[in-house]
Structure formats: C-alpha cells, structure tokens
Structure 1
C-alpha cells in the first residue's frame, strides 16, 4: 500500500514537471518577438512617394534618418550625399507611423476571459487611475497592429464617469516604461446620457425615454471638479489622490477627453467646463458635432471621431452622414482625429487606416484622411512636436508600403521603423498565414 502511494506520488511529480516544461516551451514558441534595438545604422529611403502627413506629398522622395531622428526630407533629385543603408523604394509609398487614438490596446486580450480584461476599475470618479500601468507590451493583439502601419496608440481606460488617465505609447517595447511616448496625456470623462432605455427584465418599457437623472449626473461632475479646485487651492494635510490627479487639468498641462454624442450633450459639456475655466477640451465620439461646428471652432475644441462604419442614428438623417462627418467638420475648420472605441475595438484597431480610407472616399480626400491618423491625432494627443509627420528633427517613426496604405489591397508593408529602430513585421497571424499558404499551394 505504501509502495503504491509512493509510486503515485512520483507519477504526479513527473506529470507536474512535464507540464511545466511543456508550458515553458510553448510559451517561448508563442511569445512576442524581441523589440528592435536602438538605431545604430543610418538609413536613406529613396524613390518613394512620401505622404508627409500634413496634407502634402513628395513624388520621388528622399528621406534620411540617423540616431532615431529624421535628418532630411526632400526630392531624390537633390544633390546630397546619401547616408547609411540605401533602401530603393521606387514605386512604393512612405508614411509617418499611423496613430490610434482612444483605444484599449494592451489592456485586454480575450474578452470572454475576465482575468485578461484590465481596462475598467471599480468606482465612478477615477482621474487618478493610470491605464499605462496595466498596458501589456506582450499582447498578441498589439503586435498585429504593426503590419498595417499602426505604430503608436493612446491607451485609454473605460468605465465609470471619469474612467482615468490615458498615455501614448509606441508599439514595440519591452515593457510599459519603455513604450511611453507621452505619459498621462489626458483624463477621460463619459458624459451622462440624456436618454435611457427601460430595463425590460424589470418589466419596464424598453424604448428610449428622457433620462430623469441627467441633470443630477451632470451636477455631480461639476461638483467634483469644483471640490478638486478648492482642494488644490489650499495646502492639505491629507492627500486626496483623485483631486491631485486634476492638478494638471486646471493648469492646462493635461487635456480632458469628453466622450459624448449628440449636440445637446456636447454643448452641455462645453458650457460646464468653460464655466470651470478648463479650456483644454477634446470631444470623443462626436456624433452630431457637425451641428455645432461654430461652437467647437470658437472654443478651439478638436473632435476624435469614431469609425465611419456605422448606421445613421436618426430616421431623418442621411444614410451616408456618418461617412461624411469628417469632411463636414474639416471644412468647418475643426481639427479632426480618428479613434477606435466600439465593438471589438482592440481587434478592429488594426483596421484604422481602412476606416480613414472610408472617410477619404466620402469627400475628405486621401491626404486629409492620412492626416486624420497622423498629424491630426498627434496634435490632439500633444505629441506633434516629435511624431505625426515626416519632418526634419522628428522621430523616425515611419513605414514603407507597396501601395496606398488606406486601401487594404495596397497596405502591404515592406519595412517599418519606430524611432529609427527597424522593427519586425512578423506576428502570430503572419506566421499562420504563411503556414497555411504552403498547405494550399501544394
């Protein structure tokens, strides 16, 4: 009996040992590739059509960069010595790295597995919650962005009234500290809804009806900011972390991203923060923002639009109104960017350039659509001094594509660089594609 028990114990130990070895081996097999090292080789990209990111293009361009910074942008006909490795990109296109605003990339991996979701904290007023702390650079979803040219992202929390604080990261890093491009760039507020649906499971009418708590919820936001302002005006013995997190909001160093749709809700938000003396505002979502374009323009408030692929929300609204919203706002002089919140947002973020392409096809034009996800997003996120356009002195964060990067048929990257580092374009998806391509080619 004792001998059998010892044998069983030995077998269990072997099972555990072999299981650990298996998971260690397979974990190594599926782990994200090693981030690229610091740039040590200079590069000259010659002959490509350069999409600068500010609405202009240079045919037959020459772009050179060294030590992570762009050192020359101009015509390939320029009589200037090329530096380092010369990349012949004739017939191809070069773009600044695309920037995804308002996304939860790296904050969740599998929606159906609660343990992998880390974008929402318990509580309502949470300006002190920093999303970047939870950002997972090893996410397999994050690595799948790079082959489509998405090289930077604003990592944004969700939930509550004040969700927390976002940060901007580059998408090839060892950890969140290495990934940071701009830390704690903005706080995010989910503006109360002025209409609500009845809870059918409680026997209520499931149709839309005015939200009787709308005014009360708006008042809570106003009181929270007023209390924070009073707190910050005095020397305190006890530290209040949520109020402390608003210090940079009041001094103008941190933006307030208000997630709101509907012209009444957007107008209410603008008026509330204007009365509080907070000017650095951004509207996120922005459905019906074009109806109050003059107000947005006068307050110098940018809009981060959601994806164009959505239905009109009103019975009397043009069927293609969502597709034309970027054009309407841009023509009104509003700074417009493109965000990624919505259904399956992390997986769909890889389609960012194609959403911009939809806006391009509905009146905006190709170069202005490129601008949505390069210079405009960079300006809105406060990183336009180092990212967003192909200009001398800015970070060499760019990529080369075989064709039009806003068209999935042309968005085929050959090289990509983040801060001058030549990054890998391999992902678990490209490996599977190559694997099964061989199967069906046989």
Structure 2
C-alpha cells in the first residue's frame, strides 16, 4: 500500500504546476528591445527598468546611460509586450471535461449572482501554465450556467492559490440574455430558425429579479439575502454587468434594460451583431468583448469573413472592444488569444490597434487599467519578451515573462514533452 501512495505522489509532483516565482528583490534593466506599449505607441530601441514589481522607467535607450541595476537583459532584435489578458475565461475551473469532479464552471439554479468563480479557481491547473508561453499572463475567471451565472474575478497566472492570484476580486456579474430565436439541428445538419415563444417571459423574469433586489435594499431587512447582496455595485459602477448576447434585437433590449435599471457599466460578451447597433452602444457607453475571432458566421447568407472583420468594424466606430475566447475547448484555446488579434491584423486592423484588443482595451473593460494593460511608468511590470511578433503564430517565441516583476517559469507539460522527444530524435540522428 505504501508503495502505491509513493508512486502517486511522484506522479502528481512530476505533472504539477511550476513553482510560482518569488517576489522581485533585485532591480532589472531590459535594453534594446522593440517595446509595444499597448496604447498604440512603439519604442524601437527601448530601455525598461523594473523595481519592486513596477516599471520604474521606460524610454528610448539611444545615447542614454542608465543607473546601475542588479540584472541586465539584452533584448536586442526582440519584442517586448504587456502581458495579454484573457477575458471571460473558465481557465482553472475545469481540468478534464469528462471528469465531473474536476468541473466547477457552473452552479445549479437560474439566478446566482452570489456564486463567486474565484473560489473554485485552481492555480495548479496544467492549462494555466500552458497559456503563459504565448504571453497570456492575466485572465478574468468567469462562471457559466443559469440566467445570472455568478460573479467573476481577475487573476494573474502565477500563484500558489486563488488568494495570491487575485488582481481584482468580484469585478462583475454575468448575465446570459435570452435568445429571441432558436435553431434546431446541429452544426453538421442545421435545421430551421424558430421564434422563442418564451422570450418576453424570460426577459420579465430577469427584470423581476432586479426589481426584487432593489426592493430588498430599500427595505434593509435584518436577515441578509446573499443573492441580493451580491447585486450591490451595479448601480454605482463598482461592478460591471457582463451581458452574454449576440443577436441584434437582444442587444437593443439589453441596452434598454441597462437604462431602465440605472446600470452604470455594461459590457456585451459575444456581441456578434453589435456592429448593427453602434450609435446605441456609443450613446450608452457600452463596451464589447467580442465573440471568438476564429469562428464561422452565425447565418448561412453572411460574409464568411465577418468574424475576422468584426473587431475592426467596432474599433473604427469608436467602440471600446476586446477579444475573448468562450466556446469549444476554450480553456485549451486561450493560449491562441494573441493569434486571434493577429487574424484581425490580416483583415485590415493596424497591428498596434489589434494588440490593444488583448491588452489596454481589455484592461479598461475589466477595470484594471491603472496597473495592467500597458507598459507605463508606475504600472505593474507584467510583460514578456518574444523573439518575434507575438501576434504571429509563425514567429512568436516567448523567451522571458514577468508578472509583477517576478521572472516566471515558461515550462509546461508540453515543453517537457518537446524536450524529451527532441533528445530522443537527436540521439537517433547521431547513430
């Protein structure tokens, strides 16, 4: 029996998460790299000083002699980026889809604003460490299921536990707006489109819950109601209402709902047809976390390239837009987030504008722009160095990454397998 326990321990250790990096104690100077600041600006020959987890200096390094530092990193001919941010992610909530005990992304019931996804976030997930080698260093951990799914939080992706990981706790509540139409069949054999006869009833149920929450706060009862208590902050802007919605009519109805209930901050998640409601979005200051770029159009008669162009349509109109990755295999696919932005470049968007879709724009939407999303003095030194263009799958190769100035590991199960079989084939070639 003891033998089997020992073997299990060895197995768990071998495939466990990399040990989180210690707090920065030595000053770091990065020189010579092309710094993409995340705000549309670029410094060709940059010099970046990192002290106590913050960016102490960033400027053009030509003919500039900095003060002495403890560690020097030569980034000549390389690119430097702010850490990418994966919004609306279930990273760390599910490890193996087929194993129910490892699935914590949703809760029973319909109205669950009090369900906090951060409590279930597993920092030991192998999928967390698999995202970092492509520059994804932060994520919004969001719940799924029900009508009001719960409350999300923002984390950094190198931590011992969820308390260490939290960057912004309880940043917003996630609401799945009803669909006015439904489709029968499946993707290989799609059926017809039918109206949702219960649409108005479902919208009314949402309004009734919000009305009950308002009545609860006005009554100020002695006995606390936890779901209603979780609704605090939507009227003050402390929390954002993330409305998961794609349809044109549904988007209009959601914005009307925002005005009726005095919701200060609303973000559409998905927002596939948001480009058809641009004046309404601008008038009500509604941002969009756009549906996955690498996707098919929703209707058969639409431009097949619409998912690739959608971000540019919104950005050109002045809408604050970011990218997210919900959908099939979303936890595994989050490492492809930079390449979604790269696809937007291929379809007309300026490269530095596309970079903002997964850095500064997303940081603003999540309310963490004071510390993350751009390379600026005083902000967190959460950044990475790549040998090539980080938005290009062919050339992106992250060599070093820092979270709050901590030099984190880029090793994962995939890199271990690569090294293992590389040695095998190199040995065979020598024979």
User: After TM superposition, is the score higher than 0.5?
Assistant: yes
Q: Which moved more, 1:230-239 or 1:350-359?
A: 230-239
Q: Is the 8 A contact 1:131 1:164 kept in 2?
A: yes
Of 173, 185, 188, 2:171 maps to 185
1:252 deviates by 1.8
Higher alpha-carbon Rg: 1
1:121 deviates by 0.3
Taking a change above 3 Å as real, the CA distance of residues 46 and 199 of structure 1, as seen in their structure-2 partners, is closer
The number of residue pairs the alignment matches comes to 423
Of 109, 116, 119, 1:133 maps to 119
Matched, 1:232 2:217: yes
User: Which 4+ runs in 1 deviate beyond 4 A?
Assistant: none
Structure 1 gaps of 5+ residues are 1-15
More helix as a share of residues: 1
Matched, 1:72 2:66: no
- Give distance in 2, aligned partners of 1:79 and 1:294: 50
Question: What SS is found at the alignment partner of 1:81?
Answer: coil
Of 109, 112, 126, 2:98 maps to 112
- Give distance in 1, aligned partners of 2:220 and 2:180: 38
Instruction: Report matched runs for 1:344-383 at 5 Å.
Output: 344-383=329-368
- Give distance in 2, aligned partners of 1:219 and 1:240: 21
Taking a change above 3 Å as real, the CA distance of residues 198 and 144 of structure 1, as seen in their structure-2 partners, is closer
Instruction: Report matched runs for 1:196-275 at 5 Å.
Output: 196-198=182-184, 207-275=192-260
2:418 matched to which residue of 1? 433
Instruction: Report matched runs for 1:89-168 at 5 Å.
Output: 89-168=75-154
Q: Is the 8 A contact 1:163 1:189 kept in 2?
A: yes
- Give distance in 1, aligned partners of 2:69 and 2:345: 35
1:416 deviates by 0.5
Of 363, 376, 394, 2:379 maps to 394
Of 255, 273, 277, 1:292 maps to 277
1:81 deviates by 2.2
1:58 deviates by 0.5
Root mean square deviation, CA, Å:
1.3
1:250 deviates by 2.1
- Give distance in 1, aligned partners of 2:409 and 2:225: 44
- Give distance in 2, aligned partners of 1:181 and 1:58: 27
1:53 matched to which residue of 2? 38
- Give distance in 1, aligned partners of 2:296 and 2:159: 37
1:206 deviates by 5.1
Summarize deviations over 1:177-202 as a string: whole Å, max 9, x none.
000000000000000011124589xx
1:319 deviates by 1.8
Q: Is the 8 A contact 2:175 2:243 kept in 1?
A: yes
Taking a change above 3 Å as real, the CA distance of residues 244 and 436 of structure 1, as seen in their structure-2 partners, is same
Q: Is the 8 A contact 1:261 1:288 kept in 2?
A: yes
1:234 deviates by 2.3
Question: What SS is found at the alignment partner of 1:31?
Answer: coil
Q: Is the 8 A contact 2:33 2:79 kept in 1?
A: yes
Summarize deviations over 1:70-92 as a string: whole Å, max 9, x none.
00010112343252211111100
Q: Is the 8 A contact 1:64 1:82 kept in 2?
A: no
1:324 deviates by 0.5
Question: What SS is found at the alignment partner of 2:326?
Answer: coil
Of 334, 337, 348, 2:319 maps to 334
1:7 matched to which residue of 2? none
Summarize deviations over 1:333-378 as a string: whole Å, max 9, x none.
0001011100000000010001111011111121111111000000
1:267 deviates by 0.6
1:411 deviates by 1.2
- Give distance in 2, aligned partners of 1:191 and 1:139: 30
Question: What SS is found at the alignment partner of 2:234?
Answer: helix
- Give distance in 2, aligned partners of 1:82 and 1:153: 34
Question: What SS is found at the alignment partner of 2:58?
Answer: strand
2:10 matched to which residue of 1? 25
- Give distance in 2, aligned partners of 1:87 and 1:326: 35
- Give distance in 2, aligned partners of 1:434 and 1:422: 21
Question: What SS is found at the alignment partner of 2:253?
Answer: helix
- Give distance in 1, aligned partners of 2:17 and 2:185: 44
Question: What SS is found at the alignment partner of 1:378?
Answer: helix
